[in-house]
Amino acid sequence: MRRTILITGGAGFLGSHLCDRLIADGHDVICVDNYFTGRKQNIEHLIGHPRFELLRHDVTFPLYIEVDEIYNLACPASPIHYQHDPVQTTKTSVHGAINMLGLAKRLKCRIFQASTSEVYGDPSIHPQTEDYWGNVNPIGPRSCYDEGKRCAETLFFDYWRQHRLEIKVARIFNTYGPRMLPNDGRVVSNFVVQALKGEPITIYGDGNQTRSFCYVDDLIEGFVRLMGSPRELTGPVNLGNPGEFTIKELAELAIEMTGSKSTLTFLPLPQDDPKQRQPNISLAKEQLGWQPNVPLRDGLRHTIEYFDRLLSEGAAA
């Protein structure tokens, strides 16, 4: 059934891919972004499409609009960006959630929250399951994002309990692919851009900390399945790739796949940086029939091609 769907943060990395997917599925999409980290280039191919509408708006202010579903993706998601203005980051997570939940309550529509594996903090259990409460520093430099997202989850579940609002909460693990910002400080974009430029690849810590990398197309499929799941499945649901790699392994793979002569440089580990991060996706497999299908090498190839094109155009210099 054709729906009108609001995507906040729709010009961002994940949001723009979700716009593409929902347009392809035949829906009308209203993309909202304030361009703090989103970019018009990510959705410029959709401008002029009869089922696509673009609004410049900051979700910390109320939005009055008529839609059938809401995906709330608005929030800077990389440490460089969310630590640039930590107060605004917390406001985006908390005030943004309040405003979008209020809109969903008025419209009596289903709403999706893009939460994060950062709610688990520096986890003391491995891999992480949805019933784990996390190990989070509430007053550190990453807290604006970690605690902001935790508070947003609290709000979603209180609206579900108090107002019977239909909610869907996804906890997103490391995701990569085309349209990542070249300067966002995330490990995949950092390593690929440095390798393409032939610069030393910067590893924080000894490189033995682990991450799990999910290609963006796989993640968006998980979003759509969770949003379309029965009302009773509120989440939170882990969405990510359980394949675990050390940071050093990723750096070496980036060098190999780009044919780069880059060397490895080691710097101190930032405060509160998680040492392990791997999703347990049993719930997503069981309830959504979802699991990632794109191998790391295949996803990296697409990502490298994207950044190579950006560099050749001078956009990632």
Catalytic residue among 145, 159, 176, 215: 145
The yes-or-no answer on residue 176 being catalytic is no
Alpha helices in the chain (DSSP H): 13-24, 40-43, 79-82, 86-107, 143-163, 187-197, 216-227, 247-258, 282-288, 296-312
Question: For residues 106 and 116, what is the distance between their CA atoms, to the nearest angstrom?
Answer: 26
Q: Which two tokens stand for residue 77?
A: 């998601």
Phi and psi dihedrals of 16, rounded to 5?
-70, -35
> From CA 188, how far away is CA 118, in angstroms rounded?
17
Give φ, ψ of 231 to 5 degrees: -50, -35
- Minimal CA–CA distance to 146: which of 118, 174, 123? 118
Amino acid (1-letter code) at residue 102: G
Q: How far is residue 15 from each of residues 30, 85, 97, 211, measured CA to CA in Å?
A: 11, 21, 16, 22
Q: Which residues are catalytic?
A: 145
